Amino acid sequence: MTSDPFFHPVSGFELPRFAGVPTFMRLPHLTPEHDRFGEVEIGIVGVPWDSGTTNRPGPRHGPRQLRDASTMIRAEHPVTGMRPFEALACADLGDVGPNPADILDSMERISAYYGQLMRNGTRPLTAGGDHLTSLPVLRALARDTTLGMVHFDSHTDLYHSYFGGTMYTHGTPFRRAVEEGLLDPKRVVQIGIRGTMYDREDRDFAEAEGIRLIPIEEFHARGPEDVMAEAREIVGDAPTYISYDIDFVDPTFAPGTGTPEVGGPNSYQALQVVRGLQGLNIAGADLVEVSPPFDASGGTAFLGVSIMFELLCVMAQQTG
Amino acid sequence: MTSDPFFHPVSGFELPRFAGVPTFMRLPHLTPEHDRFGEVEIGIVGVPWDSGTTNRPGPRHGPRQLRDASTMIRAEHPVTGMRPFEALACADLGDVGPNPADILDSMERISAYYGQLMRNGTRPLTAGGDHLTSLPVLRALARDTTLGMVHFDSHTDLYHSYFGGTMYTHGTPFRRAVEEGLLDPKRVVQIGIRGTMYDREDRDFAEAEGIRLIPIEEFHARGPEDVMAEAREIVGDAPTYISYDIDFVDPTFAPGTGTPEVGGPNSYQALQVVRGLQGLNIAGADLVEVSPPFDASGGTAFLGVSIMFELLCVMAQQTG
Amino acid sequence: MTSDPFFHPVSGFELPRFAGVPTFMRLPHLTPEHDRFGEVEIGIVGVPWDSGTTNRPGPRHGPRQLRDASTMIRAEHPVTGMRPFEALACADLGDVGPNPADILDSMERISAYYGQLMRNGTRPLTAGGDHLTSLPVLRALARDTTLGMVHFDSHTDLYHSYFGGTMYTHGTPFRRAVEEGLLDPKRVVQIGIRGTMYDREDRDFAEAEGIRLIPIEEFHARGPEDVMAEAREIVGDAPTYISYDIDFVDPTFAPGTGTPEVGGPNSYQALQVVRGLQGLNIAGADLVEVSPPFDASGGTAFLGVSIMFELLCVMAQQTG
Amino acid sequence: MTSDPFFHPVSGFELPRFAGVPTFMRLPHLTPEHDRFGEVEIGIVGVPWDSGTTNRPGPRHGPRQLRDASTMIRAEHPVTGMRPFEALACADLGDVGPNPADILDSMERISAYYGQLMRNGTRPLTAGGDHLTSLPVLRALARDTTLGMVHFDSHTDLYHSYFGGTMYTHGTPFRRAVEEGLLDPKRVVQIGIRGTMYDREDRDFAEAEGIRLIPIEEFHARGPEDVMAEAREIVGDAPTYISYDIDFVDPTFAPGTGTPEVGGPNSYQALQVVRGLQGLNIAGADLVEVSPPFDASGGTAFLGVSIMFELLCVMAQQTG
Amino acid sequence: MTSDPFFHPVSGFELPRFAGVPTFMRLPHLTPEHDRFGEVEIGIVGVPWDSGTTNRPGPRHGPRQLRDASTMIRAEHPVTGMRPFEALACADLGDVGPNPADILDSMERISAYYGQLMRNGTRPLTAGGDHLTSLPVLRALARDTTLGMVHFDSHTDLYHSYFGGTMYTHGTPFRRAVEEGLLDPKRVVQIGIRGTMYDREDRDFAEAEGIRLIPIEEFHARGPEDVMAEAREIVGDAPTYISYDIDFVDPTFAPGTGTPEVGGPNSYQALQVVRGLQGLNIAGADLVEVSPPFDASGGTAFLGVSIMFELLCVMAQQTG
Amino acid sequence: MTSDPFFHPVSGFELPRFAGVPTFMRLPHLTPEHDRFGEVEIGIVGVPWDSGTTNRPGPRHGPRQLRDASTMIRAEHPVTGMRPFEALACADLGDVGPNPADILDSMERISAYYGQLMRNGTRPLTAGGDHLTSLPVLRALARDTTLGMVHFDSHTDLYHSYFGGTMYTHGTPFRRAVEEGLLDPKRVVQIGIRGTMYDREDRDFAEAEGIRLIPIEEFHARGPEDVMAEAREIVGDAPTYISYDIDFVDPTFAPGTGTPEVGGPNSYQALQVVRGLQGLNIAGADLVEVSPPFDASGGTAFLGVSIMFELLCVMAQQTG
């Protein structure tokens, strides 16, 4: 609980929403050198990186556009009444600086940074970045304990490799994470899977490992509430990671992404599924694959930060 | 009933839809000086004004883009068969000229103009402008009688003031209208409310005054038909104003607006709710907050004029 | 059944999706002079032509944008598991060259080309072009037998004439096709009809001839599955043409088209209706009215090729 | 000389420039039925037509976008001090309604309309439309006298035919005009010609007929003033038509057009060449090939109307 | 001279240019409360405000887009070798918060803020905002001494009033500044004036007061170097303000602005004129009228910050 | 000399320019497996790759957009009359497939492919790709002989490394090429250099090695002809590579690129400099850094292919 106004966002009643240096949700911007860094309970972190992208690049520009759009977010959740910035000390921790021309170097930089957050007791809410981002984040978060995962996406991201053996792309992070023991496949659920397929190699792996796939046809037939009840059951009470690829949402609602698949959920359902995470033990969360070059209007980013606010609200519940 | 071809729109079978000086729905353009002005029963009026906007400006350009898009509208409603241009004498009355650098002067100009329409016996269908537009319009329409209101929006627009005491913004018009006795709060219903909130000051006011708020979660759960049945009951048979903020609709369907909130109704529901107004005693209506700089494609404006045609059709029923 | 790799698309695991000369779905590009042309069972053909457009032109650019977007399509249908490129020999047959300044000449060129396909035993999947395209295609396909038709559209395209007697526009093809005996009106169903109307001349014709019209209100009330069951019953087992105007879909999901009407199906329903064609005897199909100048983002085209892949999968079932 | 305020544009000091039904330069909109139509000395006419376009369509939307942009034009020329709306009675005469699906019918409609203007003593300033527009206009204007022409363009538009014998396209109007005796080739100068070429058929025709071609290389080497001195000499004192294809200007300055050629004049030179027409005997003028779908920003249209204002000023000098 | 790395921008060799919270030129963000605020010699300040705009709004969004684009700026001037961030202590001082719905309140807030900078000994480089911004800034800067001004613009901004007597708009700031004695009209030069005119009221004022106007025709004829030599002579050695309206530049190079006028300088000349300010005694400078809604691409903003860097370099020379 | 129509592009008089599968300049598409591959004298090759990009990615999409735009190119040069497709056997050789997630693997693939062209006696005209593309191309072309280079760019691309030691980025290719002995620095000239600088490390290297840098200020002062005369002298008669970064051109003319610098040449000068290469011994050429996500309009790509046609014409002169 933080009634300290230092951690409160600037209000739109005081400074208009278009004014000011744009930080995530108008929170204070703190780097590790700052003397109040140690107090941060939830840190919003940008990972401007897209070297794992196999098709259309752009998510390296995601964090900046998300920050810009996030100045539209206000203090209180309209349904639950949660006021997350008063419940926990939240801050914009800036961006992890990747090396755009070296994938392995970038992954090390990211894992090292998140390791620092772990030691600081700060839970991360990440703004990607392409989906490979989740792998180095998980390497830090799951250092001591295997995690469950609720994964919203139109793709499984469980492929073995691309282009004749390349192991690190945005189509492979969770294959690696399972192989490395970061995720417990029995506690992983993937929701919204759809689109034409290369083959069944990723699904065979999921089936063999016990990962639960909920294709979009099932999602539309059962509805978000029923699906999320099952998801909560799968991950249970143990620490869980939430990974939200913006391409989970129908590309008409979220055109700013690199590998769209038509026929997805609408923007209301995009929020509903996060509300369905209430009560989980959330170790961290990410919102990835927002690609500004494919939506200069910022509509995708605004939906993205609306989702991030929902994630923040369910993360903020886990406090005395 | 007007079989006078003077008041009929130009047909797309004669002059292609992209041709001609664009007036609203290809109606004749009449100014008060015109000798047939006195015959106009429903006047479509533009109010190109956005000085009340607290975030992203642009609705001052709304009427022109709406006129352009409106040349796609044809003569007959596909469901009811209503042919409004034959039922009543309709015309494009042009724009009220605001003073973009003086809010109070602009409100006086608008109220004066609508006072003239009242004296002429012309019911107005307004194309805004930002939502502050509704206040000077109501000052003219409610001069002699308090009105009820069906209000479609994602925001309540019931705030007391902004920026340390500024009373006239697009977030305050209905607070003023209730305070000034223009609206009867017991006969006001607001539909579609959503989005993160500053605080609960607006909702406390609504609750204290008896204004009925239907949040989007309730709208999605009950469906448009059930919600509109309640709305009709709330406003009853007495004179009622309809105010339709385009940001009621989900921003993916209506991106050209200044304060979007995700998770709203789709374009079919956007029409359905107007069809649900059938039978009401409509004193006037507006469609506001269309902001062309945020949707150069014109899609938002086309949805806007499709809504305006629906409004026109329910207004046109009130005649012998 | 073709296990011949000559007819297999290039895989995105080998050549990234953004690379290579863009052919439809990365299939081989075969012209009639090619020595394997005779083997093609399903030919994807572009008809870059929009001379029948009465409002906003652009579909002449459709085939190229559709080819570009189609490199995102993979090999397997996510629900049925159908792998159409292995089931039948498919190829990109290039574009029929129209004469942009002569409608009659263009129709002759198109009919002649499709006549050649008929003689070759190749079923066509056409990428338009405006909706007048369907008429010269039907003249070739229905030379020997009257066809049924499942027609997805927001307009009936059954008008008699435009602009004082012009018989060939994109609003008249199916009036001509019925008059010329190419279509059996009792076996024609039109789904998704909506929007304001000039008058009832087209509907009177439909009623008189026995064409079944399913307006969008009925579609939304009954749902895609129920509607498609009726459609299958109407056309029965005899040879049937599928004509899919992209403006069937709501313009928010498919803005790149010339005569949008709001309130249509979403992108999931856009696919569902094609899946409901399973089991029909499909003589040919088209996807028309994609107009790139009105959606430079390519989102409409990507939805268009997703629909084309669904059409291809139901066409590919008709083989031993 | 008209001091009659009826013919004066609305001032931006009174009604903001974004307000009002958009007519050309905010002039009164008069149709032939209007009782003051007979007084109009210069009529601005839209021809929303692009059926002659061989590549990218769109100029049918030109007049509307030009009208919108033209509300930015004020009353006085910054260099000469000419106030054209006070010098002559100017009006927006609306659009000639073409038949988008019939080229010959459209040409007849246009010629008939301009014949009416001739009989009325109204000189036309035309907003196209593609360049084929100039042919039916010239058929009316040159009925009694062969005209000279100053032609700004990147193409000669002197080709014999396209697509195996099609005579009427936007690449052939001046070939037809010379053949029909509407233009005196010895009094025709074409300025700005550039771009890759099919062959030399058009230039051979020009050379044989005595048409003077000034390629862009010569234009850049000599400068606008020297080139325009030669142009004035070529056309002399006899009646002359001015035809200005917006693709004369470099496509970076005028992207909204269908057949761009890089390396052209900048926007300052685009105005300078019109200023160089001062003193000519101008029978009429046009500004063609503005294609809004290729420049939704309206920048091309604003340059277009800036050129139209310059044309109007040199036309307005020809009065006592 | 500041070798203190605290005031050095983040290098693109360390953190990629797309990463990080965007401050002006990647400088530290200091508010008046910061303990090093007192050391700042040149403060870059945003004024996100456009209430004085008479036509197309948008400059309230300017500072944010300029900050985003400014992360592309590096440390050293390519011609002079000036490294401004090492020459003086520079910082991003954030935005002055205006009241978007109250012009007078906003002007007071701005003047008060700049008064604070004056007392701090900080020279301001302002990122607007519309051109009315310059008036409250001048009220603070010229409190003790009348200033000269070099003014780059396509308009004089010297009008008396708009809309029947409104005194504060972006077309009147320098009329007010001369009337209030903030500017010495004999030491004011306006460069680049062009475009159609309402009347000559502004120019008559300039002539009467001795303000030197250099119209664009003269600018193009003489060239930037000659013009700037005269400008330097006019303002002399006394304290001088630099006001740079982005609409000085041709709108093709700077489309993101509200009142464009074609025929202006190109982007190279846009920089050259600032280089011609070298040696002046610069009390402050602004870059105004960048309007992001009219150039979402950011090209105008990038030109804007390139101009700001040039301004910073000439301001940075005035130090021991 | 090839009068063989097999190698002639499709004419726009036969097939409209918007029709057909888009190959470079409508040439035949030949892969190495094709039986006429051995006859190709100039091969146009796409390298859809941008892994070396340090700021805004996108050039991986360049070849496809360039192919699309290239269908506007016709057969003959307007000034020299050169008809390159008749002078030499030209073909579209398709794209080299990179590995978007592995820089070293990609460079090997590219070098291997160009080695094959060398053995085939085919001179390459490359469409990038980012500027790192030139390095693996040079490794193949300069295997047996050190090359000279005329390099058009706003940057030197001579940096040692980025991000703490990364050697292969689009800012380092020519540093590597000189170090590896592929280029003779005494025969290298870089034209158009401008923009703010990190430091002088790249220029110190150039000076030490004898590379001639022509900054934009010198270019504008001397003019293209004088500069190109010096360039021809520097490279002399020996084999020379031409590398053309589209960011050489001013970003207003070529916005579709990742690292723009304002103040560059216009589009006419962009062509003039290539015409100044006439007579050189050209071993190969490239046009790189066209980034479609930053210019969806295609204007940059059209300028790019206009430059490529100029390059092709000077390459085509080197034949008996």
3-state secondary structure of E195: coil
Q: Looking at residue B320, what is its pLDDT? A: 42
Measured distance CA(A313)–CA(D174) in Å, rounded: 69
Helix (H) or strand (E) holding F109: helix F103-120
Q: Which of D56, D99, D163 sits opposite C166 (nearest CB)?
A: D99
Q: Which of E11, E268, E309 sits opposite F198 (nearest CB)?
A: E11
Measured distance CA(C174)–CA(F95) in Å, rounded: 43
Measured distance CA(E125)–CA(E274) in Å, rounded: 14
Q: Do B299 and C255 touch (CB under 8 A)?
A: yes
Q: Do B255 and A299 touch (CB under 8 A)?
A: yes
Shortest Cα–Cα distance, C307 to chain F (Å)? 20
Is C245 a known ligand-binding residue? yes
Which tens digits make up the pLDDT trace of F185-234?
999 999 999 999 999 999 999 999 999 999 999 999 999 999 999 999 99
Cβ within 8 Å of residue C52, ≥6 positions away: C103, C130, C131, C132, C133, C168, C169, C170, C171, C172, C173, D101
Spell out which residues of chain D touch residue B18, defining contact as CB-CB under 8 Å. 48, 60-61, 64
Its pTM stands at 0.97
Q: Do B94 and D46 touch (CB under 8 A)?
A: no
Question: Is B94 in the D-facing interface, judged by CB distances under 8 Å?
Answer: yes
Q: Which residue of D has its CA nearest to C170?
A: D101
Shortest Cα–Cα distance, D251 to chain F (Å)? 8
* DSSP3 helix / strand / coil % (chain B, rounded to 5): 40, 20, 45
Q: Which of B53, B61, B101 sits opposite E162 (nearest CB)?
A: B101
What is the mean predicted confidence (pLDDT) over E87-109? 96
Q: In Å, how far are A287, D41, F174 from A283, measured between CA atoms?
A: 14, 78, 47
CATH number, residue C290: 3.40.800.10
Q: In Å, how far are B199, D156, D212, D276 from D150, measured between CA atoms?
A: 67, 12, 10, 11
Instruction: Pick from F196, F202, F247 the residue to mutate for testing the E interface (most E CBs within 10 Å).
Output: F196
Q: Which of D215, D266, D294 sits opposite F78 (nearest CB)?
A: D215
Q: Which residue of E has its CA nearest to A297?
A: E296
Q: Do A99 and F166 touch (CB under 8 A)?
A: yes
Instruction: Name the binding residues of A for Mn(2+).
Output: 131, 153, 155, 157, 245, 247
Q: Which residue of D has its CA nearest to E254?
A: D299
Which tens digits make up the pLDDT trace of F76-89?
999 999 999 999 99
Instruction: Pick from D17, D297, D307, D312 the residue to mutate for testing the E interface (most E CBs within 10 Å).
Output: D297
DSSP single-letter state for residue D265:
-
Edge to edge, the sheet with strand C123-127 lists C90-95, C42-46, C123-127, C282-288, C240-245, C147-152, C183-193, C212-215
Q: Yes or no: say if D46 and D95 are a contact pair by the CB < 8 Å rule.
A: yes
- Domain around C114: 5-317
Burial readout E174-185 (b: 16 or more C-beta within 10 A, e: otherwise): bbbbbeeebbbb
Measured distance CA(E230)–CA(E212) in Å, rounded: 10
Question: Is A303 in the C-facing interface, judged by CB distances under 8 Å?
Answer: no
What is the mean predicted confidence (pLDDT) over E120-136? 98
Q: Looking at residue B318, what is its pLDDT? A: 79
At residue A24 the predicted structure's pLDDT band, cuts being 50, 70 and 90, is very high
What is the mean predicted confidence (pLDDT) over E103-123? 97
Question: Tokens for E19?
Answer: 């990463």
What is the mean predicted confidence (pLDDT) over F26-38? 95
Spell out which residues of chain A touch residue F294, defining contact as CB-CB under 8 Å. 293
Tens digit of pLDDT at every position of chain D (320 positions): 567 899 999 999 899 999 999 999 999 999 999 999 999 999 999 999 999 999 999 999 999 999 999 999 999 999 999 999 999 999 999 999 999 999 999 999 999 999 999 999 999 999 999 999 999 999 999 999 999 999 999 999 999 999 989 999 999 999 999 999 999 999 999 999 999 999 999 999 999 999 999 999 999 999 999 999 999 999 999 999 999 999 999 999 999 999 999 999 999 999 999 999 999 999 999 999 999 999 999 999 999 999 999 999 999 997 54
What is the mean predicted confidence (pLDDT) over C250-265? 98
Question: Is D28 in the F-facing interface, judged by CB distances under 8 Å?
Answer: no
Measured distance CA(F99)–CA(A103) in Å, rounded: 13
Instruction: Pick from C10, C17, C21 the residue to mutate for testing the F interface (most F CBs within 10 Å).
Output: C21
Is C61 a known ligand-binding residue? no
On the question of pLDDT at B1 being above 60, the answer is no
Q: Yes or no: say if F11 and F91 are a contact pair by the CB < 8 Å rule.
A: no
Q: Do chains E and A touch (3 or more CB pairs under 8 A)?
A: yes
Question: Tokens for E284?
Answer: 């402050």
Instruction: Pick from C96, C102, C108, C295 the residue to mutate for testing the D interface (most D CBs within 10 Å).
Output: C102
Q: Which of F197, F216, F266 sits opposite E74 (nearest CB)?
A: F197
Q: Do B101 and E58 touch (CB under 8 A)?
A: no
Q: Which of B61, B102, B166 sits opposite E166 (nearest CB)?
A: B102
Instruction: Pick from B64, B65, B99, B132 the residue to mutate for testing the E interface (most E CBs within 10 Å).
Output: B99
Q: Looking at residue E319, what is its pLDDT? A: 59
Which tens digits make up the pLDDT trace of A61-97?
999 999 999 999 999 999 999 999 999 999 999 999 9
CA B162, B166, B170, B176 torsion-angle sign:
positive
High-pLDDT (> 90) share of chain B, %: 96
High-pLDDT (> 90) share of chain E, %: 97
Q: Which residue of B has its CA nearest to E62?
A: B56
Q: Do C54 and B17 touch (CB under 8 A)?
A: yes
CA-CA-CA-CA torsion for F278, F279, F283, F288, nearest 10 degrees?
Answer: -10
- Pairing type for strands B282-288 and B240-245 reads parallel
Spell out which residues of chain F touch residue A105, defining contact as CB-CB under 8 Å. 163, 166
Q: Do E105 and B166 touch (CB under 8 A)?
A: yes
Question: Tokens for B119?
Answer: 């004296």
Q: Do D18 and B46 touch (CB under 8 A)?
A: no
Shortest Cα–Cα distance, D33 to chain E (Å)? 31
Spell out which residues of chain A touch residue C9, defining contact as CB-CB under 8 Å. none
Maximum Cα–Cα distance across chain F: 56
Shortest Cα–Cα distance, D304 to chain B (Å)? 18
**Chains sharing 3 or more CB pairs under 8 A with chain D:** B, C, E, F
Q: Which residue of F has its CA nearest to A101?
A: F52
Q: Yes or no: say if B309 and B24 are a contact pair by the CB < 8 Å rule.
A: no
Shortest Cα–Cα distance, A176 to chain B (Å)? 34
Shortest Cα–Cα distance, A94 to chain E (Å)? 6
Q: Which of D299, D195, D196 is nearest to D248 (CA)?
A: D195
Q: Do A48 and E97 touch (CB under 8 A)?
A: no
Q: Looking at residue D320, what is its pLDDT? A: 42
Q: Which residue of D has its CA nearest to E295?
A: D297
Q: Do E260 and D79 touch (CB under 8 A)?
A: no
Spell out which residues of chain C touch residue A155, defining contact as CB-CB under 8 Å. none
**Chains sharing 3 or more CB pairs under 8 A with chain E:** A, B, D, F
Spell out which residues of chain C touch residue A156, defining contact as CB-CB under 8 Å. none
Provide the residue type at D116 as one letter. Answer: Q
How many domains are contained in chain C?
1
Q: Which of F58, F100, F105 sits opposite A293 (nearest CB)?
A: F58
Q: Which residue of E has its CA nearest to F259?
A: E72
